[in-house]
């Protein structure tokens, strides 16, 4: 393309002409000075700076205001050192840039203690799972000695494990798992009191409200053996009860048989006496009756003897002149 017909070349020349004209007008000594626009620019600049500083100040003030709630502590620290501990709810302010605010809960907290393996007094291994209810009583001591909540919970867990291991080490396995055992009933209270003693000695500024056992398990490798031994012990106890029951049954049956024999002997004795008295009375009546007709008595006795001696197949040989033969043949005088 020819340079004379190039539109970009023409635009460049017009731009240079305009620049030369502006430079000539700027260097003209007869041109009047424009004072008012420069004064107004300075005024606007001061106003802008003032508004900017005011806004920045408001932002800084608002950023350093904080609200204390009813269920929390606010700890104000300056260069790492504690300057204030605010417990009362309300609006407060800290010094910008050099002070920081740390929030700590005032309410009770629940911490699930890690599972641990404990040996009982009778050398049985068990796995316990505890939880603790705790709270912060002195934020200053807590920050100075535990630094933060995570470290405080770690110390609580350490003390709980130590105390539980000591307490369960003094109990047999059966006493641990038996809820009706009186020695188990105060175990949680003893653990709570002992853990608080350790926390007070260390000035950790926290208090354990309660420690409870959620679960007690056996290790998998000896769980079945424990169950087998427990079943064997229960079967032995059941057999003992059965043996004692059989012994009591035999004793009761023997006493009952003896009483029955005594009662039967007494009854037979009384029956014999009554029977003898009856026979005596009957004999007396017979004697009085038969003494009135001796012949009839002899006949009656003879018939009784025949009734006892003569049977179905009995053959009797009587002399012809026997009174009985005469009676049978119908011979009567």
- pLDDT greater than 60 at residue 3: no
Which three-class secondary structure string do you get for the chain? CCHHHCHHHHHHHHHHHHHHHHHHHHCCCCCCCCHHHHHHHHHHHHHHHHHHHHHHHHHHHHHCEEEECCCEEEEEEECCEEEEEECCCEEEECCCCCEEEEEEECCCEEEECCCEEEECCCCCEEEEEEEEEEEECCHHHHHHHHCCHHHHHHHHHHHHHHHHHHHHCCCCHHHHHCCCCHHHHCHHHHHHHHHHHHHHHCCCCEEEEEEEEEEEECCHHHHHHHHHHHHHHHHHHHHHHHHHHHHHHHHHHHHHHHHHHHHHHHHHHHHHHHHHHHHHHHHHHHHHHHCCCHHHHHHHHHHHHHHHHCCCCCCCCCCCCCHHHHHHHCCCC
The token duo for 100 is 């920081």
Q: What is the mean pLDDT of residues 70-93?
A: 91
pLDDT at 132: 95
Domains and CATH numbers, the chain: 40-106 (no CATH), 109-217 (3.30.479.30), 293-329 (no CATH)
pLDDT at 38: 56
Tokens 């006949």 locate to 299
Residues in the chain: 333
pLDDT at 73: 94
Task: Give 78's strand partners.
Answer: 81, 99
β-pair type (116-119, 125-136)? antiparallel
pLDDT in tens, 148-205: 999 999 999 999 999 999 988 888 877 777 655 544 557 888 899 999 999 999 999 9
Choose from 48-52, 58-62, 156-160 the range with maximum mean pLDDT: 156-160
What does the mean pLDDT of the chain come to? 82
pLDDT in tens, 240-286: 999 999 999 999 999 999 999 999 999 999 999 999 999 888 888 87
Q: 312 pLDDT band (50/70/90 cuts)?
A: confident
Query: What is the reported pTM?
Result: 0.54
């Amino acid at each position: 393309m020819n340079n004379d017909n190039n539109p970009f070349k023409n635009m460049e020349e017009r731009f240079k002409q305009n620049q030369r004209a502006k430079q000539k007008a700027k260097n003209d000594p007869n041109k009047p000075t424009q004072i008012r626009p420069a004064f107004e620019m300075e005024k606007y600049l001061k106003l802008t700076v003032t508004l900017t500083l005011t806004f920045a100040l408001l932002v800084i003030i608002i950023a350093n205001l904080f609200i204390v709630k009813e269920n929390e502590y606010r700890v104000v620290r300056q260069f790492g050192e504690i300057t204030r501990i605010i417990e009362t709810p309300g609006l407060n302010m800290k010094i910008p840039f050099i002070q920081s605010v740390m929030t700590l809960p005032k309410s009770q907290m629940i911490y699930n203690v890690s599972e641990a393996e404990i040996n009982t007094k009778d050398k049985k291994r068990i796995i316990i799972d505890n939880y603790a209810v705790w709270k912060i009583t002195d934020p200053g001591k807590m920050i100075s000695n535990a630094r933060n909540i995570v470290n405080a919970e770690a110390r609580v867990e350490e003390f709980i494990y130590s105390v539980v291991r000591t307490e369960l080490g003094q109990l047999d396995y059966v006493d641990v798992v038996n809820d009706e055992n009186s020695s188990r009933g105060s175990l949680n209270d003893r653990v709570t009191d002992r853990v608080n003693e350790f926390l007070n000695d260390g000035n950790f500024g926290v208090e354990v409200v309660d420690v409870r056992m959620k679960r007690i398990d056996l290790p998998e490798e000896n769980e079945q053996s424990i169950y087998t031994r427990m079943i064997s012990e229960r079967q032995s106890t059941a057999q003992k009860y059965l043996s004692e029951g059989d012994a009591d049954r035999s004793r009761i049956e023997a006493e009952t048989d003896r009483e029955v024999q005594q009662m039967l002997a007494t009854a037979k004795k009384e029956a014999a006496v009554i029977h003898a008295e009856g026979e005596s009375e009957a004999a007396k009546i017979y004697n009085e009756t038969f003494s009135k007709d001796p012949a009839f008595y002899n006949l009656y006795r003879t018939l009784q003897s025949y009734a006892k001696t003569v049977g179905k197949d009995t053959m009797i040989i009587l002399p012809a002149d026997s009174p009985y033969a005469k009676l049978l043949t119908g011979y009567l005088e």
